[in-house]
A and B are shown apart, each in its own frame.
Chain A
Amino acid sequence: MSLNVEHHSVRALPSEKPIRLLDNAGHAVRSAASGGFELPDLDTLLELYRRMVVARRFDVQVTALTKQGRLATYPSAYGQEACEIGAISAIEARDWFFPTYRDSIALLTRGIEPADILLSFRGDWHNGYDQYAHRCASQTTPLATQALHAVGLAHAARLRQDPIVTMTYLGDGATSEGDAHEAFNFAAVWQTPTVFLVQNNQFAISVPLARQTHAATLADKAVGYGMPGYHVDGNDVAAIYAVTRAAVDRARSGGGPTLIEGLTYRIEAHTNSDDPTRYRQARDVEHWKRRDPIERLEKYLVSEGALSEAARTEIADAAEAVAAHTRDVMTTEADLDPLELFDHVYERPRASLLEQRARLEAELADAATQAGHRNHAGAAR
């Protein structure tokens, strides 16, 4: 069987106004602005609410731990929970996820242990979780490079006739990278089951979107590659979930890739070492705080009578428990073995690496002996 299929490329432009299922006041949108997508049912929305609340509490906790010096760095996703949680919730355990540095809260939602997610930001090793157990690639820093991995893995799965989908997140800035274009194009030409979620938080560190693109929306780019593109309100988790879910279903049934842009805003600094006052106004941040994705869904759930006070308390408690657990695991220091540096470079040890390993081992032994002498001298005094 050949996977080369006759396909008709997509030419419809994404809507200019973002697709929205809940407006900022928490009212269901019934107009054309819904783009024909259905509001997910209340159970689904309640679960998305829970996940977002837990994710935010985790994010706030990790930012605090970073300020205390427990982590080397942490890129917060505060304010982007609708994108982060909505999209990851649309894929299944058998699907593969390709995240960036920004997407720790999506990993938490994926079921990865806080300590394993944060191990790299603490500086213990470059990656701390099992990619295969979670079907989740390492968080990628070189911008847009992971998008190609998502396309390649999807293509491999398709050749094997495994009905899985790959999802990757990119930032607005990352869409300017060549690898983003190559990934969109390869995915479309090969018709891979891949969903690209561009989280347009409107800045790449300090650089605003207007300096990245002249296109009306980032979703417009999809048209040039011949795949569907959706411009979505990225602070509306109902819309993000509905649109990504449809894209995942289409991908799984052989309909190829989709590019989804979620229009959102990063409330926190780019990372703890960033100073956002140099490039954006406090009033812009205030404006976006009033568009909070969690509050929006909460208003809707309350108005529908789907979020009791008891449920709210229970969810808040669950979030606190995750935060407490995160504090616990991050306040203990890992026992690192410097000699492990040589263990994972090649499958078969190389003679020259073994020589260098022996040198480091001798250095460590020397240092231990000297420390022993100092302690001994100290004790004698």
Chain B
Amino acid sequence: MTATTTRLDAPAASAPTQLTMAGALNAALRDAMAADDRVVVYGEDVGPLGGVFRVTDGLQAQFGEDRIWDSPLAESGIIGTAVGMAMYGMRPVVEMQFDAFSYPAFEQMVSHVAKMRNRTKGRMTLPMVVRIPCAGAIGGVEHHSDSSEAYWTSTPGLTVVMPSNPADAYSMLREAIDSNDPVVFMEPKSRYWSKAALALPVITAPMDRAVVVREGTDVTLLAYGPTVRTALEAADAAEAEGLSIEVVDLRSLSPFDDETVGASVRKTSRAAVIHEAAQFGGYGAEVAARVTERNFHHLAAPVMRITGFDIPYPSPKLEEHYLPTPDRVLAALDTWEWDD
């Protein structure tokens, strides 16, 4: 798993405690707010309630309403005012309640958050973080399980990351808040309750790097967020059948870590990318194209996409048929010719 060390700027690390991903994110926000009073947090229900996923639990009690508050319920307003606050030197960390509810903010994100540095030749930068609980597999009714990553990754100027485990959640959120560029920080909902023993503050690989989370020799599975676990489970199952799968947790969707991914693919000569989002025009299309362009002569088979179907995200009782499962991953790998 991801190597963990202690943050350089931190006092002695605490003894390891069991933390969920939501708890790790909460700790990251708490530590970032304590370290830097320019960090402010706002959004919908982030105050007394602590967020619908409890990521901001207890923060208002600790830091007061001038540091973390419930804003009016309007996503464009949240992002647009965060732009203004960042212009003035604050480091706003704002929450979109769910992927699908970030869409009202699309214009602010694409036309301002992404472009301000470029427009002003770097004179005006926007050190802000947009936290977006993302993806599905939580039994959510319509609009609660979208995967919006490709909307953001196809926008130059945005940095888009997605942790898959509590250690990365803490470390990457701290790094995102410290970044002078805007970061879209996507939090896979289905992983909020995953647990790990962490000695905080924990520092993992840099936010813009992919990490090999399981070594193998026959196939590279490229996964991120919720599908990292899927890939690991598939790898465990395949091992019994004598297939050695390497799993790369992409972590950073934009930028893309061509180096780490390329090294793995050249080793295994086969790659598949797994995501929950629909396939057509999805993030996997970019991954497949660039992995192929850069590693064609090392590939024994076309890069495969194992994704959700090209349909709107289904209702809770049908989502199990939509989501890429370890079985579906292994079945997909079987469709390659394996005569070498």
**Contact residues of A with B, CB < 8 Å?**
1-4, 125-127, 130-132, 137-138, 142, 145, 147-157, 159-160, 166, 178-179, 182-183, 185-186, 189, 340, 343-347, 350-352
Contact = CB atoms under 8 A, between A and B. Distances in A.
Contacts of B117: 344-347
Given A145-B80, A351-B255, 14 more contacts: A4-B65, A148-B81, A148-B108, A149-B83, A149-B87, A151-B81, A152-B87, A153-B84, A160-B88, A179-B107, A183-B77, A186-B71, A347-B180, A350-B255
B122 interface: yes
Given A179-B76, A345-B117, A346-B157, A152 B84 contact: yes
A155 B71 CA distance: 12
B316 interface: no
A156 B72 contact: no
B93 to A, nearest CB: 14
Tell which of B79, B80, B84, B122 has the most Cβ of chain A within 10 Å: B84
A178 B72 contact: no
A145 B156 CA distance: 19
A148 B113 CA distance: 12
B111 A142 contact: yes
Nearest to A126: B119
Given A152-B83, A178-B104, A347-B181, A2 B65 contact: yes
A19 B180 CA distance: 46
Contact of A149 (B66, B112, B121): B112
Interface residues of A, dominant DSSP: helix
A81 to B, nearest CB: 27
Contacts of B124: 131-132, 137-138
Contact of A148 (B80, B89, B125, B156): B80
Nearest to B88: A156
Interface of B: 40, 64-66, 71-72, 74, 76-77, 79-90, 92, 104, 107-108, 111-112, 115, 117-125, 156-157, 159, 179-181, 255-256, 258-259
Contact of A156 (B90, B115, B118, B179): B90
Nearest to B67: A159
A192 B83 CA distance: 15
A85 B106 CA distance: 33
A354 to B, nearest CB: 11
A185 B77 contact: yes
Of the candidates A2, A126, A152, A347, the one having the most CB atoms from chain B within 10 angstroms of its own CB is: A152
A152 B85 contact: yes
B77 to A, nearest CB: 3
- In this complex, which of A1, A137, A189 has the most chain B Cβ atoms within 10 angstroms of its Cβ? A137
A351 B261 CA distance: 14
Contact of B80 (A149, A156, A160, A343): A149
Contacts of A130: 123
* List of 3 A-B pairs having minimum Cβ-Cβ separation, nearest first: A152-B84, A148-B80, A152-B81
Contact of A352 (B64, B82, B112, B256): B256
Nearest to A185: B72
Contacts, number: 139
A346 B124 CA distance: 12
Contacts of B71: 186, 189
Contacts of B40: 159
Nearest to A153: B84
14 contacts: A2-B65, A2-B66, A148-B77, A148-B84, A149-B112, A151-B80, A152-B80, A152-B92, A166-B84, A179-B108, A182-B72, A185-B74, A344-B120, A345-B117
Contacts of A150: 84
Contacts of A352: 255-256, 258
Contacts of B255: 350-352
Contacts of A157: 88
B84 A351 contact: no
Contacts of B108: 145, 148, 179
Nearest to A120: B119
A223 B112 CA distance: 29
A49 B159 CA distance: 48
Given A145-B107, A189-B72, A344 B122 contact: yes
B79 to A, nearest CB: 8
B121 A344 contact: yes
A138 B120 CA distance: 8
Contact of A186 (B72, B122, B125): B72
Contact of B66 (A126, A152, A159, A189): A159
A105 B157 CA distance: 30
Given A137-B87, A153-B84, A345-B117, A178 B181 contact: no
Nearest to A125: B121
B57 to A, nearest CB: 20
Nearest to A194: B84
B66 A3 contact: yes
A127 B88 contact: no
Contacts of B157: 345-346
Contacts of A148: 76-77, 79-81, 83-84, 108
A127 B79 CA distance: 21
B145 to A, nearest CB: 25
B112 A145 contact: yes
A223 B111 CA distance: 30
Contacts of A159: 40, 66, 90
B90 A127 contact: no
A347 B122 CA distance: 8
A182 B76 contact: yes
Nearest to A151: B81
Contacts of A347: 117, 122, 125, 179-181
A332 B122 CA distance: 25
A344 B107 CA distance: 20
B70 to A, nearest CB: 10
Contacts of B87: 131, 137, 149, 152-153, 156
Contacts of A350: 255
A2 B77 contact: no
Contacts of A340: 121
B258 A155 contact: no
Given A4-B65, A183-B77, A155 B85 contact: yes
A3 B40 CA distance: 14
A126 B118 contact: yes
B128 to A, nearest CB: 10
